[in-house]
Structure 1
Amino acid sequence: MMRVTNLEPTAFPRLLSFVPDRLCIRHTAFTRPRCRKSSLFTTSCLNDVEVTIATDHNYGNKQVIAVTPRIYDYLLTNVREPPILRQLREETASMRGSQMQVSPDQAQLLTMIVQILGAKRCIEVGVYTGYSSLAVALVLPESGVLVACERDMTSLEVAKRYYEQAGVSHKVDVRHGLAVDTLNSMIENGEGCSYDFAFVDAEKRMYHEYFELLLKLVRVGGVIVIDNVLWHGKVADPLVLDKKTESIRSFNRALMEDERVSISMVPVGDGMTICRKR
């Protein structure tokens, strides 16, 4: 198996060294300390491509490609990233908290959803420096609007500068402050069920509250996308019990049982759940 060291959390990770033409098959049984349940998994490697088969054989031994640095590098070279977005990504990479920025493949998926919906009215909770909001604004029609909620003014100033450079400032309604306050005021102003799309990438312990407010603002048939639902893989580790991880686990369980929406959890970026309001 390949060894990866000092992996840098950049949007375009550098290509690391690999052992060419290596074929390996591994079957491993393990029991974690303090964990009662044993697990069995199978991992196969062919030409540096890792393939994982689900533990439960009732899934038909479905093989899934694990995203190695080489595969992810290939994926990113096949993302259509407008120059203005690339410029923003590169500037953000030098800033504190740059890992919060969505990746180009995530932004590409978000914009495709917006286009498929024919969305004209959108909301973003958690803007940071504006990569995802700028991507969405670029594909909105001239009459479209994106309400961009962000509490950090320093990062928001970067986003506003790029909205201006891209010529989409007239499409973005910037709201500086706590997103909960903004969303509540929008509901009080009679904007319920008038939005087509919403994206959440903000305080993880607030996901439940954000979601309930957005359900009131998004129309039937509209879509809400929630980022970081796999939370660096921590949600799958029963030994990780910090408050943010537990909150995301709780949110994921609640969505599974929520008949108000249709859902699909996809392993893009740090995991995203796409919810369609019924």
Structure 2
Amino acid sequence: MEAKAEEQQLSQAYGHRQVGQKSLLQSDALYQYILETSVYHREPEPMKELRERTAKHPLKAMAISVDEGQFLNMLLKLINAKNTMEIGVYTGYSLLTTALALPDDGKILAMDINRENYELGLPIIQKAGVAHKIDFKEGPAMPVLDELVKDEKNHASFDFIFVDADKDNYINYHKRLIELVKVGGLIGYDNTLWNGTVVAPPDAPLPKYVRDNRDFILVVNKALAVDPRIEICMLPVGDGITLCRRIK
């Protein structure tokens, strides 16, 4: 009950409405209009099944929103992505939307510290016929990234990288991912508006985990804004996603 009260307090203070728990839109009705008009009836059946299964999980708030999934799916098709990476998988909703967007010989290097959550969605991914595109590695991403960076053949080899894991490592991930993504390729950092709290006053009464992660997000947002190797676009989709296009 206490956690719910804190969530409602944050919603009222920073504009995060209740219908779209992953939306920063000011109007519940407007967000619902978007979902009902252009999202739900176009959502592939496997993604709907996985979304509904994830909704029963205690940590369901970790999943990306359905409209963000639609956005990523189209984005991947627009850039003709083939070799991708995902850091932070959870039950695999964003992973599935990526796999469905890639060509049959496309590949996703997927990393998460929890295989159990991944396996919750795996049967649906398999049923969708895209499991062969996924190379799942259980454990922290940093050691895997360090190994990839050591081998120059991996440099500039990824078309798209999606990051939705431990926020305290976003800045460390970026230092490595900028070498692994190709020039013209994209890195997407999720949750970069952090429930709207990025504009909260320094003394705002935020729960500790919210404040700590907000501070990490603020650091990476500032770093991305001045990184001359990338072009950026911060979008209020879901909980905020920042796209970084490598230009050099």
Q: Common fold, TM-score beyond 0.5?
A: yes
Counterpart contact for 1:146–1:171, Cα < 8 Å: yes
Report 1:112-151 matches (<5 A): 112-151=74-113
Structure 2: 5+ residue runs without aligned partners? 1-11
Query: What TM-score do you get using the length of structure 2 for normalisation?
Result: 0.84
Task: Give 1:162 deviation, angstroms.
Answer: 2.1
State whether residues 68 and 237 of structure 2, in contact with CA within 8 Å, keep that contact through their aligned partners in structure 1: yes
**2:243 paired residue number:** 274
Q: Which amino acid aligns with 1:68?
A: S
Identity of aligned residues (%): 39
Contact 2:20 2:31 in 1 (8 A): no
Q: What's the CA shift for 1:159?
A: 3.0
State how far apart, in whole Å, the 1-side matches of 2:79 and 2:18 are. Answer: 37
**Which of 179, 182, 188 lines up with 1:225 in the alignment?**
188
The alpha-carbon deviation at position 147 of structure 1 amounts to 0.8
Q: In structure 1, what is the Cα distance between the partners aligned to 2:44 and 2:138?
A: 26
Task: Find 1:258's aligned residue among 194, 203, 227.
Answer: 227
Where do residues 205-216 of structure 1 align in structure 2 (5 Å cutoff)?
Answer: 205-216=168-179
1:49-88 matched pairs, under 5 angstroms: 66-77=25-36, 78-79=38-39, 80-88=42-50
Matches within 5 A, 1:1-278: 7=18, 66-77=25-36, 78-79=38-39, 80-189=42-151, 190-239=153-202, 240=204, 242-278=211-247
Give 1:132 deviation, angstroms: 0.5
Mapped to 1, the partners of 2:32 and 2:143 lie a distance apart of 39
Partner SS, residue 192 of structure 2: coil
Q: Is the 8 A contact 1:9 1:99 kept in 2?
A: no
Q: How many residues align?
A: 223
Distance between the aligned counterparts of 1:214 and 1:118, measured in 2?
19
Query: Quick one: which amino acid aligns to residue 115 of structure 1?
Result: K
Q: TM-score, normalised by structure 1?
A: 0.76
Structure 1, unaligned stretches of length 5 or more?
14-64
Alpha-carbon distance in 2 for matches of 1:9, 1:93: 13
State the Cα RMSD in Å: 2.1
Structure 2 residue matching 1:102: 3-state secondary structure: coil
Deviation at 1:198, TM superposition (A): 0.5
Change (3 A) 1:268 1:9: closer
Q: In 1, Cα distance between the equivalents of 2:148 and 2:26?
A: 40
Deviating more after overlay: 241-250 vs 144-153: 241-250
| Distance in structure 2 (CA, Å) of the matches to 1:139 and 1:119 | 8
Q: Which amino acid aligns with 2:166?
A: E
Letter of the structure 2 residue corresponding to residue 150 of structure 1? D
Task: Tell me if the contact between 2:91 and 2:117 (Cα under 8 Å) persists in the aligned partners.
Answer: yes
Does the Cα contact within 8 Å between 1:10 and 1:93 map onto a contact in 2? no
The answer to whether the Cα contact below 8 Å between 2:35 and 2:67 also exists between their aligned partners in 1 is yes
Change (3 A) 1:89 1:95: same
Give the distance between the partners of 2:27 and 2:197, measured in 1 at CA: 18
Larger Cα Rg: Structure 1 or Structure 2? Answer: 1
Q: Give CA-to-partner distance per residue, 1:159-188, whole Å, 9 cap, x none.
A: 322221111011111111111112222223
